[in-house]
Amino acid sequence: MHGLAALSAYPDVRRLDVHASARDPFGQWIVRLPRQRSSVTLMVLADLSASMAFGQAPRKVDALADLVDALGQSAWRAGDAIAFIGADGVLREQWMLASTRSRGPTVELVQRLRCAQLSAAGAAAIVDAARRFGWRRDALVFLVSDFHWPEAVLQGACAALAGSDVVPVVLWARHEFDNWPRRGLAELQDLESAERRTIWFRPALVEAMARAGAQRRSGLRRQFADYGWRAFFCDGAFSASAMNAYFHGEDRAD
């Protein structure tokens, strides 16, 4: 809502509010005051465990880099700040970017993410990061992962961020659950342990994997909705236009 003031105190006839003036008990001309925008911090809490390197190019970490680049540009243009915390099983100091309004540090971080070789198992430290930084009420928190986490880690991170403004960003590879061969041999690699095994694909298995993906997507939506959050799903390359649609409420649930 706009604030109101007398024209004599704020002499700008372009902001004249006829209706408010008609209601003024002293018969003064009333103008609408310009809205004052509060600055915010875009806080990225990112999973940097081995599973984020999964997939053919673009990998999930490449999509993360594109997301951080887009957020950095947006923050710089708006005069907002951006911060980044990356974690796997532990918090990684080399993946921490203190809150900044400068463009340079974000550009450097994005370049390092594109070259990152991720090999650590698990993302349990994301809970510690959320507890440490999630209390900031001036922040819009982007919680970024493929969310292939144990339930305790997911619940711990959500509980630590409860009451914050959070955008859960779910990064999946294009063939995470879909587009597998309907028949034939294929080598699969465990996302966290890097263990490889050969699987004989058949239609029933492919359909079961697709169902598992749909169920996981629905389950994440419900869990995040319990905290008042709406998930943004990215299957493959990050799309800035898709995120813009998300913020305008134009995305569609599966």
- CATH assignment at residue 98: 3.40.50.410
Q: Are 115 and 79 in contact (CB under 8 A)?
A: no
* pLDDT band at residue 201 using 50, 70 and 90 as cut-offs: low
Specify the amino acid at residue 148: H
Residue 193 lies in a domain: no
* pLDDT band at residue 254 using 50, 70 and 90 as cut-offs: very low
- Pick from 223, 45, 232: which is nearest to 140 by CA? 45
Residue 235 lies in a domain: yes
- Pick from 146, 133, 126, 141: which is nearest to 227 by CA? 141
Token pair listed for 211: 């169902």
Residue 224 lies in a domain: no
Report pLDDT digits (tens) over 172-186.
Answer: 887 776 665 555 455
Residue percentage of the chain with pLDDT more than 70? 79
132 and 19, same structural domain? Answer: no
Give the domain range for residue 47. Answer: 41-174+229-247
Report pLDDT digits (tens) over 114-129.
Answer: 999 898 888 999 999 9
* pLDDT band at residue 220 using 50, 70 and 90 as cut-offs: very high
Question: Which residue(s) pair with 44 in the sheet?
Answer: 84, 142
162 and 46, same structural domain? Answer: yes
237 and 116, same structural domain? Answer: yes
User: How many C-beta neighbours within 10 Å does residue 64 have?
Assistant: 29
Q: How many separate domains does the chain show?
A: 2
Q: Are 121 and 88 in contact (CB under 8 A)?
A: yes
> If you average pLDDT over residues 76-93, what whole number do you get?
92
Strands 184-189 and 232-235: unpaired
